[in-house]
């Protein structure tokens, strides 16, 4: 069943942004976390979407804003309680994504046992690239994702290093949340996450498929 909506503009009408944490062993290690035995996921609101040309805004309450580059999976049709074997039939395509994280806020939330919404769900916390139809990426588990800050390489990883594969993630998530057309799954980040400051430029890419650039700016209190 083909999508009835213009998937290339998924960021305008997708309902859910589902983010998977600790899906690369090297990143879990750098964060001092144990490897997960099941996918760890959380949600961002659709207002977190950001397109090139607009700046990433560091929240006024954040002192340490971190970048996390991730491969995004865009759902092409509804997925509810699907099997791993059928999962990829529900994929419409892919996008490069940044899971921007207020790291100091996240650490405080962890200590207090609070949700991560302040750390992960603020405006502009999910910059995304153009949509890439799945036909252009025959195997999403054979890609290199990378990120530079001011021209210096910070992150570089192979999607083959994911702990949980894309079919597994779709199947697992769809048994908890109904995924709709246009919904986005962020599949985790490799090691090398780090802080960015106002006026820094982030450049990120997927192999030789695409790249994107974003500037970082301060969010004024009350804006």
**Residue 106 within a domain:** yes
Task: For the beta carbon of residue 192, count every other beta carbon within 10 angstroms.
Answer: 18
CA distance 130 to 132: 6
Give the chain's domain count.
1
Kindly calculate the radius of gyration of the chain based on its CA atoms and give it in whole angstroms: 16
CA distance 55 to 25: 30
- Inter-residue contact 19 to 120 (CB < 8 Å): yes
Q: Summarize the confidence of residues 15-39 as an average pLDDT.
A: 94
Confidence of residue 208 (pLDDT cuts 50, 70, 90): confident
**Residue 2 within a domain:** no
Query: What are phi and psi for residue 56, nearest 5 degrees?
Result: -75, 125
**Residue 61 within a domain:** yes
Q: What is the pLDDT of residues 72-127, one digit of tens each?
A: 999 999 999 999 999 999 999 999 999 999 999 999 999 999 999 999 999 999 99
- Taking the model in full, what pTM does it have? 0.95
**Residue 199 within a domain:** yes
Residue 82: give its domain's CATH number.
3.90.850.10
CA distance 47 to 124: 7
Q: What is the pLDDT of residues 145-157, one digit of tens each?
A: 999 999 999 999 9
Task: Return the DSSP state at 169.
Answer: H
Domain assignment of residue 36, given as a range: 7-218
**Residue 213 within a domain:** yes
């Amino acid at each position: 069943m083909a999508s009835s909506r213009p998937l290339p503009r998924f960021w305008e009408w997708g309902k859910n942004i589902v983010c998977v944490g600790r899906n690369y062993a090297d990143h879990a290690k750098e964060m001092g976390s144990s490897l997960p035995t099941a996918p760890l996921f959380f949600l961002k609101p659709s207002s977190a979407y950001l397109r090139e040309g607009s700046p990433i805004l560091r929240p006024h309450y954040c002192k340490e804003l971190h970048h996390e580059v991730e491969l995004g999976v865009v759902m092409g049709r509804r997925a509810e309680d699907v099997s791993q074997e059928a999962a990829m039939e529900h994929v419409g395509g892919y996008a490069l994504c940044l899971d921007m994280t207020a790291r100091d806020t996240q650490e405080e939330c962890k200590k207090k046992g609070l949700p991560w919404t302040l750390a992960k769900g603020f405006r502009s916390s999910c910059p995304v690239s153009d949509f890439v139809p799945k036909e252009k990426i025959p195997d999403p588990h054979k890609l290199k994702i990378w990120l530079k800050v001011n021209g210096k390489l910070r992150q570089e990883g192979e999607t083959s290093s994911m702990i949980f594969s894309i079919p597994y993630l779709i199947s697992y998530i769809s048994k908890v949340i109904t995924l709709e057309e246009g919904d986005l799954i962020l599949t985790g980040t490799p090691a090398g996450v780090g802080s960015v400051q106002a006026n820094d430029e982030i450049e990120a890419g997927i192999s030789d498929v695409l790249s994107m650039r974003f500037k970082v700016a301060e969010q004024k209190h009350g804006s």
